Amino acid sequence: MVNSCRRCGTCCSYMADVFGIMEQTGPFEYKIQYLITGVQQIVTIDPDKTYLFSNTTIQDKRPLACPFLRFDREGLALCTVHQTRPELCHMYLCNPQKPEG
Ligand code: SF4
Ligand code: SF4
């Protein structure tokens, strides 16, 4: 299956109502919780993305974004916890019919 993700970041830009950070459990480790179900999970910032995660200016531009969404120098979206991302994110399928996807 061809990966058609254009890394626009739209799918991750409205996730603040889905899960949130409950507490920091390590230098770059966080306990998150799904706000509806209460299910919790530990996620860790990918080692090569800690510098990007430390830049939180995205919260001004996209206040409803997932707390782990960032954009690189080319303006392309990336998940800073990709290696340990929430189960929900594993299941997401972008709809190629939509303009953003
Ligand atoms: S909305 Fe689709 S194209 Fe954009 S980042 Fe998400 S998966 Fe990729
Ligand atoms: S954890 Fe990663 S993939 Fe999931 S919503 Fe946040 S930035 Fe997107």
| In-domain check, residue 75 | yes
What is the arithmetic mean of pLDDT over 5-31?
95
**Number of neighbouring beta carbons within 10 Å of residue 61:** 9
Alpha carbon distance 68, 54 (integer Å): 10
Residue 81 neighbours by CB distance under 10 Å? 24
Ligand 2 centre distance from Cα of residue 21 (Å): 12
68 occurs within a structural domain: yes
In a domain, 81, yes or no: yes
Number of domains in the chain: 1
Confidence of residue 3 (pLDDT cuts 50, 70, 90): low
- What digits encode the pLDDT tens for the residues 92-101? 888 655 444 4
Residue 93 is predicted with a pLDDT of 83
Nearest CA-CA partner of 67 in 6, 25, 14, 8: 14
Q: Is 38 contained in some domain?
A: no
- pLDDT tier for residue 1 given thresholds of 50, 70 and 90: very low
84 is a domain residue: yes
pLDDT tens digits, residue range 23-33? 999 999 999 99
Q: What is this structure's pTM?
A: 0.90
**Residue range of the domain that includes 72:** 10-16+45-91
Q: Which of 44, 55, 26 minimizes the C-alpha distance to 86? A: 44
> In angstroms, what is the span from residue 53 Cα to ligand 1's centroid?
19
3-state class (DSSP) for residue 49: helix
